[in-house]
């Protein structure tokens, strides 16, 4: 019995020593230097004032706000630089090479910093060696040249990419063939049109796609997205879509469980609900502030076998709609 206790004690001690050995309590010197260099550009007076070396307690950059470090290597794995630039300085070009020292970086958020482009030859291609980079968030900036997309196409490790609310008009330089791990793409708020669908539809790994307010008009054929066999969440609101169809009658999109048509006007409600009734996995349907014309029969609503949540706040329907809720037995009260 005593020998067994000694063995257990030795195992516990070994586990403790191993964990202490591999747990790093401070950031790397070269990465701390790189962070302080970033402060010259991300210089909002209220965002990163903590990035200083006043004393021993503040010297560990892993403890600074907006930074996440690995517990095992001490390297920076996350940088949250959302709204970290002094907005009074206006638009500027980013030198992406400033982020090269962060060899294990996984997430980089540069949202809302008035970035208009990149310094020549110092664009996002400079980060192609960062094999762990999974999340890149560039929303609410001033990018207006699709050549930035050419550089982003080199990041095959990306899983999450947000380009929302920039000034992009095309995806001509977006080589999506290399982005075979991308699961989340946000294109909302840019001025695109239906032409982008030929690019987006090749991203077969996508699980969530946001196309809110991107300039889609007229009839939208869901058949153009049928190749996105892993798609689960789709945002299409804010566009001037008046009709949604499946041109070939093949529903596809069998994993799609959430669809948002926020703030759209549909001229033929019967056709809309017959089409969407083909989405066998649809559980959540957002119709906030929509204008749906046409009298709906019980047949259209009976097609939604899996629907659990239906949001219609602020929408305009025929009054007959409200009598149809009883047919939709799968709906759950919120």
Residues 278, 272: Cα–Cα separation, whole Å: 10
The pLDDT value recorded for residue 27 is 82
Residues 3, 183: Cα–Cα separation, whole Å: 53
The pLDDT value recorded for residue 175 is 80
Residue 209 vs residue 155, higher pLDDT: 209
What is the DSSP secondary-structure string of 10-41? HHHHHHHHHHHHH---S--HHHHHHHHHHTTT
Half-sphere exposure of 78 (CA within 13 A, CB side): 13
Residue 74 falls within a domain, yes or no?
A: yes
Residue 216 falls within a domain, yes or no?
A: no
The pLDDT value recorded for residue 330 is 66
Residues 6+ apart with CB under 8 A from 141: 110, 111, 112, 113, 114, 115, 116, 165, 166
Residue 250 has pLDDT above 80, yes or no: no
pLDDT band with cut points at 50, 70 and 90 for residue 9: low
Average pLDDT over residues 112-131: 94
The pLDDT value recorded for residue 1 is 54
pLDDT band with cut points at 50, 70 and 90 for residue 58: low
Average pLDDT over residues 232-241: 97
The pLDDT value recorded for residue 203 is 93
pLDDT band with cut points at 50, 70 and 90 for residue 87: very high
Residue 96 vs residue 294, higher pLDDT: 96
Residue 201 falls within a domain, yes or no?
A: no
User: Does this model's pTM top 0.85?
Assistant: yes
Residue 206 has pLDDT above 60, yes or no: yes
Residues 249, 257: Cα–Cα separation, whole Å: 19
| 10-50 confidence digits (pLDDT tens) | 555 555 444 444 445 568 999 999 999 999 999 998 888 77
Residue 3 has pLDDT above 70, yes or no: no
Q: Which domain holds residue 61?
A: 29-152
Residue 253 falls within a domain, yes or no?
A: no
Q: What are the CB-based long-range contacts (under 8 Å, 24+) for 16-25?
A: 22/72, 23/71, 23/72, 24/69, 24/70, 24/71, 24/72, 24/73, 24/74, 25/60, 25/74
Residues 298, 326: Cα–Cα separation, whole Å: 9
Q: How many CB atoms lie within 10 A of CB 282?
A: 22
198 and 222 Cβ atoms separated by less than 8 Å: no
Residue 275 falls within a domain, yes or no?
A: no
The pLDDT value recorded for residue 17 is 44
Residue 184 falls within a domain, yes or no?
A: no
Percent of the chain at pLDDT > 70 equals 82
Average pLDDT over residues 296-321: 75
Residue 115 vs residue 150, higher pLDDT: 115
Residue 205 has pLDDT above 80, yes or no: yes
| 143-201 confidence digits (pLDDT tens) | 998 778 888 888 999 999 999 999 999 888 888 778 999 999 999 999 998 889 988 99
Number of folded domains that form the chain: 1
Average pLDDT over residues 119-145: 94
Average pLDDT over residues 117-130: 93
Q: What is the CATH number of the domain that holds 57?
A: 3.80.10.10
Quote the mean pLDDT of the chain: 86
Residue 283 falls within a domain, yes or no?
A: no
Residue 286 falls within a domain, yes or no?
A: no
């Amino acid at each position: 019995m005593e020998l067994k206790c000694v063995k257990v004690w030795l195992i516990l001690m070994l586990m403790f020593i191993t964990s202490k050995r591999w747990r790093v309590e401070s950031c790397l010197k070269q990465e701390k230097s790189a962070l302080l260099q970033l402060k010259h550009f991300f210089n909002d007076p209220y965002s990163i004032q903590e990035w200083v070396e006043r004393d021993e307690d503040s010297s560990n950059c892993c403890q600074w706000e907006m930074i996440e470090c690995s517990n095992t290597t001490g390297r920076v794995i996350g940088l949250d630089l959302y709204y970290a630039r002094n907005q009074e300085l206006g638009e500027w070009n980013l030198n992406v090479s400033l982020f090269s020292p962060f060899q294990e970086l996984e997430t980089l958020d540069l949202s809302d910093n008035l970035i208009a482009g990149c310094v020549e030859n110092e664009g996002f291609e400079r980060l192609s060696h960062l094999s762990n980079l999974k999340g890149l968030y560039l929303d609410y900036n001033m990018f207006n040249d699709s050549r930035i997309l050419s550089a982003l196409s080199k990041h095959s490790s990306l899983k999450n990419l947000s380009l929302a609310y920039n000034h992009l008009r095309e995806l001509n330089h977006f080589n999506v063939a290399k982005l075979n791990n991308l699961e989340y793409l946000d294109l909302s708020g840019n001025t695109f049109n239906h032409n982008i669908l030929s690019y987006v539809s090749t991203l077969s790994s996508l699980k969530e796609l946001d196309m809110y307010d991107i300039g889609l008009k007229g009839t939208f054929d869901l058949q153009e997205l049928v190749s996105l066999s892993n798609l689960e969440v789709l945002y299409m609101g804010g566009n001037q879509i008046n009709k949604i169809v499946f041109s070939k009658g093949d529903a596809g999109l069998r994993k799609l469980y959430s669809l948002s048509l926020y703030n759209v006007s549909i001229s033929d409600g019967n056709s809309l609900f017959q089409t969407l009734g083909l989405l066998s996995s649809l559980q959540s349907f957002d119709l906030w502030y929509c204008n749906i014309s046409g009298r709906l029969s019980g047949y259209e609503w009976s097609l939604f076998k899996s629907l659990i949540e239906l949001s219609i706040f602020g929408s305009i329907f025929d009054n007959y709609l409200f009598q149809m809720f009883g047919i939709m037995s799968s709906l759950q009260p919120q």
